[in-house]
């Protein structure tokens, strides 16, 4: 029998505790699958006395994750500490420097230092695995890194943040406001006390940065990502989306375009009939388009202790089997520096919701300004302002919502057209603009 794989785990929160528990529950199966036992030999966490429902009494305890990473107590270091600097970064660097394989769930660390860590791991001949860093239990990292080895990926897009999808799903199904749903999500533990990281789109951006590198063989370039969150979404937008055959999802999209790699995170109108539109609540989904396979969609839990631990164990099993694969699918030196496709040159359809002052000339202004930029309109929907009695001419006097769906145009054209409409003075509020993804 081969020697056991000795595992050191730093961070015993929800995912860490699930990892320890599942390694115990499935010890025999893992040994059969990997040809050697997988054993937790060392752990590190802040509070030694907290009851986590797991038995780590046989493990060496380290108060400092960096000390664990440097020690001789394990062959693979599992980083579940979190944060893009501080102890997480120091511990991962120390583990690599001391010749240990690393398994991490830390997308923030990867988005910032992934390229350097991959190069360091390669130089030391150790593995760097991070299935758990993106989309919880969905095996999208392995799929892009290994299963699609014989493909050129053209686009990867996903619902990568369960909190945002939960909020948008409830807003749609129950007609609630963003603020009400966020408060509920916080009560239920689906959203943090400071929700900016999730609802602002930044968590999705970190995950997208990792997927982009895996999909296109490019250096991680998180700073190139255009990021918009979901806080501006109004129940009226969801209602109009529904009427027009769409749902609104916060998507992370990376796409190879004529001008380079486009990376963007923003609320998106997706056709109700598309696979990704069916994904509700805290579930995640990733859709990949590639030349050989065509289209592939993976749907599963985006968070949760056991689901995320499932991905950690997948990586540990790969380490135990001796899998040797570059962290981002290609050697760090072979990763390309991607040409950034500027957002102004993004092409696609747009949903535009204008709050129009109900007086002569408004419709003409909108139609003219769009026509000047050669923007064609697929649909126009105008609603009477709610709760107002129209005058003899049928006008309510107050602002009314007007929704436009455009055919494909460019970001710069639609922005210029809307600036001109605003300058004409018929619009009461800044326009709402939501990009449409066509299948």
Q: Which residues are catalytic, by number?
A: 207
Nearer to a second copy, 331 or 425 (CB): 331
The encoded tokens of residue 5 equal 């794989």
* Spacing of C-alpha 140 from chain mean position: 12
- For residue 232, give the nearest of 319, 150, 167, 151 by alpha carbon: 167
Nearer to a second copy, 275 or 422 (CB): 275
Q: Does 142 bind a second copy (CB under 8 A)?
A: yes
Give DSSP secondary structure letters for 275-320.
GGGG--TTEEEEEEEETTTEEEEEEEES--HHHHHHHHHHHHHHHH
Applying CB under 8 A, which part among 160-168, 179-187, 243-251, 298-306 lies near a second copy? 298-306
The CA distance from 135 to 161, in Å, is 8
Q: What is the nearest approach in angstroms of a second copy to the Cβ of residue 271? A: 12
Backbone angles phi, psi at 266, to 5 degrees: -165, 160
Name which of residues 172 to 191 contact a second copy (CB under 8 A).
none
Nearer to a second copy, 334 or 428 (CB): 334
DSSP state letter for 144: I
CB 32 within 8 Å of CB 65: no
Q: Does 324 bind a second copy (CB under 8 A)?
A: yes
User: How many residues form the binding site for a second copy (CB under 8 A)?
Assistant: 62
Applying CB under 8 A, which part among 137-145, 174-182, 198-206, 383-391 lies near a second copy? 137-145
Nearer to a second copy, 102 or 313 (CB): 313
Report the length, in residues, of the chain: 439
Q: What is the nearest approach in angstroms of a second copy to the Cβ of residue 147? A: 4
CB 270 within 8 Å of CB 251: yes
Q: Which residues contact 243 (CB under 8 A, 6 or more apart)?
A: 381
The encoded tokens of residue 137 equal 């239990």
Q: Does 331 bind a second copy (CB under 8 A)?
A: yes
Q: Does 306 bind a second copy (CB under 8 A)?
A: yes
* Spacing of C-alpha 179 from chain mean position: 21
Torsion, Cα 402 405 409 412, to 10 degrees, reads 30
CB 81 within 8 Å of CB 65: yes
Torsion, Cα 234 238 239 240, to 10 degrees, reads 100
Torsion, Cα 96 98 103 104, to 10 degrees, reads -60
The CA distance from 279 to 266, in Å, is 17
Q: What is the nearest approach in angstroms of a second copy to the Cβ of residue 145? A: 8
CB 97 within 8 Å of CB 89: no
| Binds a second copy by CB under 8 A, chosen from 90, 97, 271, 275 | 275
Name which of residues 205 to 234 contact a second copy (CB under 8 A).
217
| Binds a second copy by CB under 8 A, chosen from 291, 339, 378, 391 | 291
Strands (E), 220-282: 226-227, 246-257, 260-271
Q: Does 431 bind a second copy (CB under 8 A)?
A: no
Q: What is the nearest approach in angstroms of a second copy to the Cβ of residue 237? A: 23
DSSP state letter for 337: -
| Binds a second copy by CB under 8 A, chosen from 128, 307, 354, 404 | 307
Nearer to a second copy, 148 or 354 (CB): 148
Nearer to a second copy, 295 or 339 (CB): 295
| Binds a second copy by CB under 8 A, chosen from 35, 83, 175, 390 | 35
Nearer to a second copy, 330 or 353 (CB): 330
Applying CB under 8 A, which part among 79-87, 89-97, 239-247, 304-312 lies near a second copy? 304-312
Q: What is the nearest approach in angstroms of a second copy to the Cβ of residue 139? A: 4
Q: Does 105 bind a second copy (CB under 8 A)?
A: no
Q: Does 325 bind a second copy (CB under 8 A)?
A: yes
Residue matched to tokens 């968070």: 303
Applying CB under 8 A, which part among 3-11, 32-40, 46-54, 421-429 lies near a second copy? 32-40
Q: Does 143 bind a second copy (CB under 8 A)?
A: yes
The CA distance from 237 to 150, in Å, is 41
Nearer to a second copy, 90 or 317 (CB): 317
Which residues of this chain interact with a second copy, rule CB under 8 A?
18, 22-23, 25-26, 29-30, 32-35, 131, 137-139, 142-143, 146-152, 217, 273, 275, 278, 290-301, 304, 306-307, 309-314, 316-318, 321-326, 329-331, 334
């Amino acid at each position: 029998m081969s020697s056991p794989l000795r595992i050191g785990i730093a961070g015993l929160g929800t995912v860490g505790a699930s990892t320890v528990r599942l390694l115990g529950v499935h010890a025999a199966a893992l040994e059969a699958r990997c040809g050697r036992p997988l054993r937790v030999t060392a752990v590190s966490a802040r509070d030694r006395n907290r009851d986590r429902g797991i038995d780590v009494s046989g493990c060496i305890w380290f108060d400092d994750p960096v000390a664990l990473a440097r020690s001789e107590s394990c062959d693979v270091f599992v980083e579940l500490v979190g944060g893009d600097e501080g102890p997480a970064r120091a511990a991962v660097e120390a583990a690599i420097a001391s010749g240990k394989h690393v398994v991490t769930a830390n997308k923030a660390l990867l988005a910032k230092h992934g390229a350097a860590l991959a190069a360091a791991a390669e130089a030391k001949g150790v593995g760097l695995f991070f299935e758990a860093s993106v989309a919880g239990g969905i095996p999208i990292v392995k799929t892009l890194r290994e299963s699609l080895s014989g493909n050129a990926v053209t686009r990867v897009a996903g619902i990568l943040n369960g909190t945002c999808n939960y909020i948008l799903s409830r807003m749609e199904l129950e007609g609630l406001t963003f603020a009400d749903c966020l408060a509920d999500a916080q009560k239920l533990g689906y959203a943090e006390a400071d929700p900016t990281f999730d609802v602002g789109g930044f968590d999705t951006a970190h995950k997208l940065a990792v997927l982009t590198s895996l999909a296109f063989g490019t250096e991680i370039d998180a700073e190139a990502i255009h990021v918009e969150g979901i806080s501006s979404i109004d129940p009226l937008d969801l209602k109009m989306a529904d009427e027009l055959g769409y749902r609104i999802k916060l998507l992370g999209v990376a796409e190879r375009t004529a001008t380079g790699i486009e990376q963007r995170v923003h609320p998106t109108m997706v056709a109700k009939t598309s696979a990704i539109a069916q994904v509700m609540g805290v579930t995640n989904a990733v859709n990949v388009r590639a030349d050989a396979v065509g289209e592939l969609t993976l749907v599963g839990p985006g968070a949760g202790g056991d689901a995320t631990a499932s991905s950690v164990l997948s990586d540990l099993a790969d380490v135990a089997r001796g899998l040797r694969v570059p962290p981002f699918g290609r050697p760090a030196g072979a990763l390309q520096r991607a040409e950034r496709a500027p957002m102004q040159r993004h092409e696609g359809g747009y949903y535009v919701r204008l709050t129009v002052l109900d007086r002569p000339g408004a419709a003409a202004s909108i139609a003219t300004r769009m026509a000047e930029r050669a923007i064609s309109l697929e649909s126009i929907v105008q609603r009477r302002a709610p709760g107002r009695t129209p005058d003899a001419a049928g006008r309510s006097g107050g602002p009314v919502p007007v929704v436009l769906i455009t055919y494909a145009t460019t970001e710069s054209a639609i922005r210029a057209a809307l600036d001109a409409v605003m300058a004409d003075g018929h619009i009461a509020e800044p326009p709402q603009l939501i990009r449409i993804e066509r299948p």
